[in-house]
Amino acid sequence: MSMLIDALGTVHQPYVVNAGAAAEPRIVSLVPSITELVCELGLSPCLVGRTGFCIHPKSVVQTIPKIGGTKDVNIEKIRKLAPTHLIVNIDENEKPTVEALAKFIPHVIVTHPLVPRDNLALYQLLGGIFAAQERAQELCNQFETAYAALDPAPASSQQVVYCIWQDPWMTVSRDTYIAAMLALIGWQTWSPPNSILRYPGFQWTSAMQHPIDRVLLSTEPYRFTESHVDALEKQLGLPVQLVDGEMLSWYGSRAIAGLQYLKQLSVQ
């Protein structure tokens, strides 16, 4: 069995349940897409806490206690849940919060997928820790099938602006998971050239000085709608398209459907 190493290089041991020493793991997830993955691995009975943004699968998570948001968690509420494991993400959770929780939660699993194929290691990491290797391998197989169905050499490259927020307008840099997903179909994300931020703000006057082929408005974290599409198309004179933010930004088990969604986008 390969070593179980998380995004910070921490080596984790399989959590072994036995009558003499350990009960079932008690997992708190502060990452919506990871919460969904934990459930897909068959571990929902072990989930004792989630954020209010952990909404999938709805029928399962609605019975799991909320402990705040991804960045404003209720530390004392989590303490009372007595978790054995905490699952976090480098982009989505605040480091001081994680450090505070690590003082009383024995095992902290840090995730940080940067490209779609990182999901394979993520499935195997959680499957290995929580004795769900068989289901993890099934997810790996499903991912590989969806990945192989994409055109390995997209017919044409497009420059896109992927918007995640307005007032102020914000986009994604090319070193993000979202950008790596879009690159699979030849869509290259534009971001301010001099910015070192992964999710930089920008001005349309600056963006329009570059050869932009289309603008993508994501349904999350800002809830862009078709009315935003219509208004921005009139303002810019460019094609503007509403895209499913969960399909393009959620890693974990959702990434499998995300790859299938990408294939649909590529022919539009």
- What pLDDT was estimated at residue 20? 56
Q: Would you say 218 and 249 are in contact if contact means Cβ atoms under 8 Å apart?
A: yes
Q: What mean pLDDT value characterizes the chain?
A: 95
Domain ranges for the chain: 4-147, 158-266
- Residues β-bridged to residue 111: 89
| pLDDT exceeds cutoff 60 at 86 | yes
Domain 158-266 grouped into CATH 3.40.50.920 = no
- Residues making up the chain, counted from first to last: 268
Q: Grade residue 153 by pLDDT with cuts at 50, 70 and 90.
A: confident
Q: What is the DSSP string of 97-122?
A: HHHHHHTT-SEEEEE---STTHHHHH
The Cα 180–Cα 58 span in angstroms is: 28
- What pLDDT was estimated at residue 1? 59
Q: Would you say 169 and 201 are in contact if contact means Cβ atoms under 8 Å apart?
A: yes
- What pLDDT was estimated at residue 16? 84
Q: Grade residue 157 by pLDDT with cuts at 50, 70 and 90.
A: confident
pLDDT in tens, 178-217: 999 999 999 999 999 989 999 999 999 999 999 999 999 9
Q: Grade residue 141 by pLDDT with cuts at 50, 70 and 90.
A: very high
- What pLDDT was estimated at residue 89? 97
CB atoms closer than 10 angstroms to residue 67? 26
| pLDDT exceeds cutoff 80 at 155 | no
Quickly name the fold that domain 4-147 has: Rossmann fold (3.40.50)
Alpha-helical (H) ranges within the chain are 32-40, 58-61, 75-81, 95-102, 118-129, 133-148, 177-183, 204-207, 226-236, 245-249, 254-266
pLDDT in tens, 218-236: 999 999 999 999 999 999 9
- What pLDDT was estimated at residue 266? 82
Q: Grade residue 76 by pLDDT with cuts at 50, 70 and 90.
A: very high
- What pLDDT was estimated at residue 55? 96
- Fold matches, 4-147 and 158-266: yes
pTM of structure: 0.94
CB within 8 Å of 251: residues ≥ 6 apart = 33, 111, 113, 116, 118, 119, 122, 177
How do strand 27-29 and strand 11-12 relate by DSSP bridges? unpaired
The Cα 247–Cα 68 span in angstroms is: 23
Residue 20 CA neighbour count, 13 Å, CB half: 0
Query: Would you call the peptide bond into 25 cis, given omega within 30 degrees of 0 as the criterion?
Result: no
Q: What is the DSSP string of 19-57?
A: TTTB-S--EEE--HHHHHHHHHTT-GGGEEEE-TT--SS
Q: Would you say 266 and 150 are in contact if contact means Cβ atoms under 8 Å apart?
A: yes
Query: Would you call the peptide bond into 211 cis, given omega within 30 degrees of 0 as the criterion?
Result: no
In the chain, pLDDT over 90 holds for what percent of residues?
92
pLDDT-wise least confident of 17-26, 64-73, 97-106, 116-125: 17-26
pLDDT in tens, 16-63: 876 555 689 999 999 999 999 999 999 999 999 999 999 999 999 999
